[in-house]
Amino acid sequence: MNLMLKTVEEFSQRHRYDINPSKSSYIRVNPKSPNPSPDFILEGSRIPLDTSTTHLGVYRNTKCKVNTKDKIELGRRTAYSLMGAGFNGKNGLKQSVKARLWSTFVVPRMFYALEVLPYSQADLKA
């Protein structure tokens, strides 16, 4: 892993962009043993071990479970943000336009990154 981090560091220097080590962290997914993890070094500083982290907007924790309630809440907030455009009630937009807005904006935000996280039957029923 340290070799991969060294490769990333060299690539970032070659292409002149910075990786902030203070914003970096790692998690152990489904740790089988309580042994401490090795130290990972990026640009001379140690990367801390976390229990949860966010990468590209995808929340991940050590159990690698889908947080269904957060996904539903994100969809609800997205739908509420469209209320000002006439998404609510019968006096606003036509039903066909509402359906198009729903499938274009709300559904993709709720389903974002679900294909990379394992989910169970209980998650599907929630």
pLDDT in tens, 23-37: 888 888 777 777 777
Position with higher pLDDT, 98 vs 57 = 98
Is-above-0.85 flag for pTM? no
Identify the CA nearest to 5 among candidates 16, 21, 23, 22.
21
- 105 vs 90: CA distance, rounded Å: 20
- 74 vs 108: CA distance, rounded Å: 11
The domain ranges of the chain are 2-61, 68-125
- 66 vs 23: CA distance, rounded Å: 23
Please name the amino acid found at residue 41: I
Average pLDDT over residues 71-78: 89
Q: Residue 126: its pLDDT value, please? A: 59
pLDDT in tens, 78-118: 999 998 888 887 778 888 988 999 999 999 988 887 767 67
Structure letter (DSSP) for residue 117: S
Position with higher pLDDT, 56 vs 104 = 104
DSSP-assigned letters across all residues of 59-75: EEETT----HHHHHHHH
- 92 vs 28: CA distance, rounded Å: 48
Backbone angles phi, psi at 77, to 5 degrees: -65, -35
The 3-state DSSP class for residue 115 equals helix
Identify the CA nearest to 121 among candidates 55, 44, 68.
68
Does residue 14 carry a pLDDT above 90? Answer: yes
